[in-house]
Amino acid sequence: MAKKIMQMNDSATFVGALPEQLASIPVIEISLNADGSVQALDARRVPRFFPETTQMAMTAIRRAAPFGSVSHLPKPWVFNETFLFNDDLKFQLHSLQP
């Protein structure tokens, strides 16, 4: 799912090493339906600096959905994704960090 979010939002992402200090780090709770469509998004962490990145992250998730059936996985189909925004307000996903 993280890879699809990155691929579907390539103009909003950056590659390479993370900067020493990130501009913004929103955390989004993602709830999926059995078919992989988004049921709900909830901001679990809204950053003090650049709070608009929370909405940017949610938009990126919606742009990448649906994610394919998750009905074979145990319920609930809920997880968090952490967005790592640089000074240009482009992101990488924490779950894809080495």
Distance CA 84, CA 32 (A): 22
Q: How confident is the model at residue 2 (pLDDT cuts 50, 70, 90)?
A: very high
Condensed to tens digits (0 to 9), the pLDDT of residues 52-95 reads: 999 999 999 999 999 999 999 989 999 999 999 999 999 999 99
Condensed to tens digits (0 to 9), the pLDDT of residues 11-30 reads 999 999 999 999 999 999 99
CA distances from 36 to 46, 48, 55, 65, 79 (A): 25, 31, 20, 7, 13
| Pair 64, 8: CB distance under 8 Å | yes
| Domain spans, the chain | 2-96
Q: What is the pTM of this model?
A: 0.95
**Residue 79 pairs with which residues in a beta bridge?**
30
